[in-house]
Structure 1
Amino acid sequence: AEIALALSHRQRAPVTLVEAGPRIAAALTPRARTLLRRALDRAGVAILTKARVHRVAADHVVLADGRRIDSALTLGIAGARAPDWLARDLPVDEAGFVCVGPCLQVPGHPDLFAAGDCAFMTHAPRPKAGVFAVRQAPVLAANLAARHLGRPCRAFRPQRDYLKIISLGGQEALAQWHGIVLQGRWLWRVKDRIDRGFMARLKG
């Protein structure tokens, strides 16, 4: 949805958002989802739900039901998916992500750790979001060193919720945090500052 709004704002061309599920932005609260839908409607973004892509060609997309959508630019954006090889010898959840305990260790494999989108925290299930992967990194690094030195590992305690800010195009944004939903230009400035700061740290 965010990319669709950005494309619509930038290119001023028709944009179609194809979603395989029954609704867009399922992780948002109903109010946040309503505001996002209104922004998409204002931008003229066509939304197709319960629609699966069958084939992508150079100038069009064919859906599973036979519908054809002309497309000068097609972007495929998908969520996290577990690689099949994880399930061969490792404990995995129902979606195929490798299970880890509080110290990010794989059960039955004390020298094996997993973090980020490939991991499922059995002690504290959370959605696949970058905020958790980023905050797991220092714990993972410390535990790798601790395991090598024969010292106790430390537990990763993820936050219960996290701030979600969605750019709506035109330097406006929508935010959701602990059930509170806000919208405005000032939120876009907050998001821009957070994102630029994060990228600057990676460059350093």
Structure 2
Amino acid sequence: MKRLVLVGGGHAHLSVLQALAQEKLTDVEVVLVTPSAHQNYSGMLPGWMAGHYSLAQCRIDLQALARAAGVTMVIDRIAGMDADRRCVGLPDGRHIEYDLLSLDVGSEIDVSWLEMAGDKLLPVKPLDAFFDAWPKVLAAANAQSGYRLVVVGGGAAGVELALAAHHALQLNASNAQVDLVASDSGLLPGHAPGVQRRMTLALARAGVQLHAQKAVGIEQGVMLSDATVLQADCVIAATGARAPSWLQPSRLLLDEHGYIAVNGQHQSLSHANVFAAGDICARQDLTMARSGVHAVHAGPVLAANLLATLKRLPLATYKPRKRSLYLLACGDQYAIASWGGFSAEGAWVWRWKDRIDRGFIARHSNSGRRRDTLVSKEAT
């Protein structure tokens, strides 16, 4: 019997679990290794921070999906892997061997410039740790006067987190202050000027102070490139991504930034029995932005290719769309749409985003429940 090992419960692997539930493989053992029994959906993180969703509304039960797919679940993190020996390692020293491997664990936040902020530093990834920490930040802000939070990162994640944090802090601690450090590359690099103007105005309306400078972490908070010190009680890092360090000795071919080099089928260029999707990999045939949008859309192709490999069938190619739609939450129930050169904003954009996000959760939650019901009926 062959063994397929799935590492990570990311967006792409949700599609894989759904495909496995439909396929009902009898000659393949499938193991899912993930640090949590749930996937906290990143698209709803700003809404949850702002108080628009409960935790239960923005998480997916991976155990239900695994059970429906007949997948054995190992709740643990990956400490390393050896692609030549075909095994992944767990922190306690155990190894899990595989015939076919799929990696969907995402990237890490690069906090190398902010580490001197010490205990005040709160990276947005890993998401599970951030979801655990945010209620404590709110409690601390509510317990003291003049709480100051600094968000570092001018991309989509940074602006959404800054506006969500401001909205939540105003509800819990009216005199709290939020600053956004967007670096000297400006706000929302890669988005159209119209989107950047809309977001700049949204930040100004909310009272979030924008600093277009680089920042380094210091004991008091952060220091900007002009030597201005931003005193902070908490520093949220939504800065650039970096590849997991355990990939370096993995024997996989990596790109110049340490990500797994993959082809259009999301297959490792050095090891044909290893596939990867999401932020942990880098396509070598084209340039593709690191976005959860691509992880979601690549999921069905990854699922098809894993099944095709097991059956020795031709592989499919993931062809990303020329433009990706971004719906950027603005703290309150208001959002900005960005699609190429097009932009729009309003409460209707928030309702659009809310409908998409709730639909994503429902789609994956219901698939697990439907399969569980079928299995229960068959058993009786």
> Please, what TM-score do these two structures have when normalized by structure 2?
0.49
Q: Cα deviations across residues 41-89 of structure 1 (Å, max 9, x unaligned)?
A: 111111223322323x5xx413265643333443222343112443443
1:82 aligns with 2:240: no
Please list, as runs of the form range in 1=range in 2, the aligned pairs for 1:97-108 lying within 5 A after superposition. 97-108=259-270
> AA paired with 1:5?
L
Q: Cα deviations across residues 75-116 of structure 1 (Å, max 9, x unaligned)?
A: 222343112443443333332222111111111321121111
Contact 2:191 2:340 in 1 (8 A): no
Please list, as runs of the form range in 1=range in 2, the aligned pairs for 1:1-204 lying within 5 A after superposition. 1-12=159-170, 13-55=176-218, 60-63=220-223, 67-88=228-249, 89-204=251-366
Instruction: Flag the structure with higher helix content.
Output: 2
* Alpha-carbon spacing, 1:42–1:17, altered in 2? closer, same or farther (3 Å): same
Q: Cα deviations across residues 97-152 of structure 1 (Å, max 9, x unaligned)?
A: 22111111111321121111111112232100111111212221221222122221
Contact 2:221 2:234 in 1 (8 A): no
> AA paired with 1:143?
N
Taking the aligned partners of 2:216 and 2:360, their CA distance within structure 1 comes to 34
* Alpha-carbon spacing, 1:40–1:64, altered in 2? closer, same or farther (3 Å): closer
Taking the aligned partners of 1:81 and 1:36, their CA distance within structure 2 comes to 26
Taking the aligned partners of 1:120 and 1:168, their CA distance within structure 2 comes to 30
Q: Which has the higher contact order (CA 8 A, sep 6+)?
A: 2
Question: Is 110-119 or 44-53 further displaced after alignment?
Answer: 44-53
Deviation at 1:21, TM superposition (A): 4.4
> Please, what TM-score do these two structures have when normalized by structure 1?
0.87
Taking the aligned partners of 1:22 and 1:78, their CA distance within structure 2 comes to 12
* Alpha-carbon spacing, 1:64–1:127, altered in 2? closer, same or farther (3 Å): same
* Alpha-carbon spacing, 1:179–1:61, altered in 2? closer, same or farther (3 Å): same
Taking the aligned partners of 1:182 and 1:130, their CA distance within structure 2 comes to 21
Question: Is 90-99 or 9-18 further displaced after alignment?
Answer: 90-99
| Structure 2: gaps (5+ residues) | 1-158, 171-175, 367-380
Question: Is 64-73 or 89-98 further displaced after alignment?
Answer: 64-73
Taking the aligned partners of 2:364 and 2:190, their CA distance within structure 1 comes to 27
What SS class does the counterpart of residue 16 from structure 1 fall into? strand
> AA paired with 1:131?
V
Taking the aligned partners of 2:355 and 2:335, their CA distance within structure 1 comes to 13
> AA paired with 2:198?
L
Instruction: Flag the structure with higher strand content.
Output: 2
Q: Which has the larger radius of gyration?
A: 2
Question: Is 43-52 or 63-72 further displaced after alignment?
Answer: 63-72
Q: Give the total of aligned pairs.
A: 201
| Structure 1: gaps (5+ residues) | none
**Identity between Structure 1 and Structure 2 (%):** 36
Taking the aligned partners of 2:259 and 2:212, their CA distance within structure 1 comes to 26
Contact 1:124 1:158 in 2 (8 A): no
Taking the aligned partners of 2:363 and 2:307, their CA distance within structure 1 comes to 23
Partner of residue 92, structure 2: none
